[in-house]
Amino acid sequence: MAPPYASFVSELKEHGLLKSVSEVLHWDEQTQMPPKAAGHRGEQVALLAKMLHAKFTSPRFGDLLAAAEAALPRGAEIDSDEAVNVRETRRSYDRARKLPADLVEELARTGVLAQQAWAEARSKNDYPAFRPWLEKIILLKRREADCIGYASGNRYDALLDEYEPGATAADVKRTFDALRGPLVDLVRKIGQSPKKAPLEVLERQYPAAAQERLARAAAAAVGFDFGAGRLDTSTHPFCTGLGPGDTRMTTRYDERYFGDAFFGVLHETGHALYDQGLPAEHFGTPLGEAVSLGIHESQSRMWENLVGRSRAFWRHFMPQARQAFPQALAGVSDDDWHFAVNDVRPSFIRTEADEATYNLHVMLRFELEQAMLSGEVGAADVPAAWNERMKNYLGLTPPDDARGCLQDIHWSGGAIGYFPTYTLGNLYAAQLFEQARKDLGDLDAMFARGEFAPLLGWLRKNIHSRGKRYLARDLVRRVTGSDLSPEPLLRHLRAKAGELYGVS
Ligand code: ZN
């Protein structure tokens, strides 16, 4: 008989393989699948989901996990390979076992129906049509949180923990509270500055084929391995790590707007580099997985914003961009370009927001989610509560709910507790990037020469290769020597605002 830990890992890896099969189907659905295949695909995916859930929550697997736990050597290092895989699997196993099958099924079914209702309500700008679905989702998510439990006394923690293990609403609130005031202030000062970014240069004719060539060149230059991944097109861009040697990302091309595809690809490349850097030998186990959504997002945001919108990056790429778009870029100076890709201005739609205002969109959602979960804000009051915060934080009032509280897909699918990971990602990114500068020296000089390998190597060593060994907050402390703080992000945004808008 195999030793307990080996049996446990072999079962876990089989689970990981099966899960990656369903992820291939998901990628295919988004990029290749003919519309008439939707019904059949639904059956395939549902069967796999059922098999996965049954396998993972089976008493047999519970026994394997318990035996592996019991076999851990006494006094073993808490971050040894064995201890990490056992600890993290116990966390997700207990979570899965606490949810009754009827609730899991009801959440899945409601998620699908509510998402359809949401898409229609958004297209017709009809919030009242979506309201009962949101009500139902809130009730189900409260029940889910109660099943999982929350020692802190705050239900939200049980939901947040799924996306950002170990984080609490209180921690996130403290950090966001410290960020909000200075950020609102900075965005207001930028709005009052007489200097305006020449946005028009991004809205010229950018042929899709040339956009794709440049985006591929940039992805390859920063380290994406096209021998172990792909770039395709889809309506909603995403990146999925299907396993060792297979990381796929997607984008979409708008010929009248440069930013969407190029920065979108850099963003997905950041996610992809993380996936390509996870240790292959640990595939299927926590040591082969990302820390959290927030840490995943820190990787995408770092390459998209901190690297991709820097002057040094464009010092290297501008000649290639000019070759790709000789007409659109005729007469556009390097300074104009740098200003245009770093424009900051309040807008209604989160996914189109710049790197400064984006975080205010996220805070608004984080606050509303907590208020909905506690019952302080009922579903009927969501539009008013949304609009009030938009006014306070961004100085804007959405003209309709489609551009207000109906804009995001997350709540309709039951993803409550997900939004804060976006801003956590920006905060982690800025703090990690400051540390990378300290450790590596003049990153700008390297970027200007087209050298991105030192930064990628640093991320590989400090983040990617470690899998889920540490919780996000511990990883950040370990790598940077400090707890998560809003200051590095504020320093970055203020420096840019000073340079471009003459404010700080
Ligand atoms: Zn992302």
Q: How do residues 260-275 score in pLDDT, each as one tens digit?
A: 999 999 999 999 999 9
What separation in Å is there between the alpha carbon of 306 and the centre of ligand 1?
14
Q: Are 261 and 344 within one domain?
A: yes
pLDDT of residue 77 exceeding 80: no
Task: Provide the greatest CA pair distance for the chain.
Answer: 75
Q: Is residue 368 part of a domain?
A: yes
- Rounded mean pLDDT of 46-59? 90
- 180 and 245, same structural domain? yes
Task: Please state the rounded mean pLDDT for residues 421-439.
Answer: 98
Residues 231, 100 within the same domain: no
Residues 173, 25 share a domain: no
Give the Å distance between the CA of 422 and the centre of ligand 1: 8
Give how many domains the chain has, as a whole number.
2
Domain boundary among 84, 113, 136: 136
Same domain flag for 71 and 204: no
Output the CA 444–ligand 1 centroid distance in Å: 24
Residue 163 is assigned to a structural domain of this protein: no
In a domain, 157, yes or no: no
DSSP per-residue letters across 5-24: HHHHHHHHHHHHHHHHHHHH
Convert the pLDDT of each residue in 287-305 to its tens digit: 999 999 999 999 999 999 9
Q: How far is the CA of 191 from the centre of ligand 1 (A)?
A: 27
| CB neighbours of residue 445 within 10 Å | 11
Whether 268 sits among the annotated catalytic residues: the reply is yes
The answer as to whether 350 is a domain residue is yes
Residue percentage of the chain with pLDDT more than 90: 89
CA distance 354 to 213: 24
Ligand 1 center from residue 239 Cα (angstroms)? 8
Give the model's confidence band at 337: pLDDT under 50 very low, under 70 low, under 90 confident, else very high. very high
Whether the pLDDT of residue 405 is over 80: the answer is yes
In-domain check, residue 143: no
Question: Average pLDDT in the 243-271 region?
Answer: 97
Instruction: Determine the distance separating the centroid of ligand 1 and the alpha carbon of 49, expressed in angstroms.
Output: 24
Give the closest residue to 299 by CA, choosing from 274, 262, 266: 274
Predicted confidence at residue 442, as pLDDT, reads 97
* Distance (Å) from CA 316 to ligand 1 centroid: 24
Residue range 241-266: mean pLDDT, rounded = 97
Q: Buried b / exposed e across 87-108, counting CB within 10 Å, b at 16+? A: bbbeeebebeeebeeeebeebe
Poorest-pLDDT segment among 37-46, 242-251, 402-411, 437-446: 37-46
We report the CATH number of the domain holding residue 360 as 1.10.1370.30
Residue range 108-122: mean pLDDT, rounded: 89
- Check residue 38 and give its pLDDT: 83
Same domain, 308 and 430: yes
Closest CA to 356 of 301, 317, 314, 300: 301
Q: Residue 101 pLDDT > 90, yes or no?
A: no
Which pLDDT does position 504 carry in this prediction?
78
Does 265 map to a domain?
yes
How far is ligand 1, taken at its centre, from the CA of residue 230, in Å?
17
Q: Is the domain of 269 the same as that of 379?
A: yes
* Catalytic-role residue among 268, 289, 304, 355: 268
CA 221 to centroid of ligand 1, rounded, Å: 20
- Residue-wise pLDDT for 451-475, tens only, equals 999 999 999 999 999 999 999 999 9
Is residue 179 over pLDDT 90? yes
pTM: 0.96
409/475 same-domain check: yes
Characterize the bridge pairing of strands 229-233 and 246-251: parallel
CB burial of residue 22 (10 Å; 0-12, 13-18, 19+): middle
Q: Do 355 and 434 belong to one domain?
A: yes
Q: Are residues 259 and 128 in the same domain?
A: no
Q: How far is the CA of 327 from the centre of ligand 1 (A)?
A: 31
Percent of the chain with pLDDT over 70: 100
What pLDDT, on the 0 to 100 scale, is given for residue 74? 79
Identify the pLDDT of residue 105. 84
- The answer to whether position 31 is within a domain reads yes
Last residue of one domain, picked from the residues 90, 113, 136: 136
Question: Quick one: 356 and 436 in the same domain?
Answer: yes
Q: Quick one: average pLDDT of 229-247?
A: 95
Question: Mean of the pLDDT values across residues 153-177?
Answer: 96
Residue 141 domain-assigned (yes or no): no
The confidence score (pLDDT) of residue 205 equals 98
| Residue 368 lies in domain | 169-501
Q: Which of 433, 479, 477 is nearest to 455 (CA)?
A: 433
Cβ-count burial 466-490 (b if 16+ within 10 Å, e if not)? bbbbbbbbebbeebbeeebbbbbbb
The mean pLDDT value for 366-372 works out to 97
On the question of pLDDT at 1 being above 70, the answer is no
Q: Does 188 share its domain with 247? A: yes
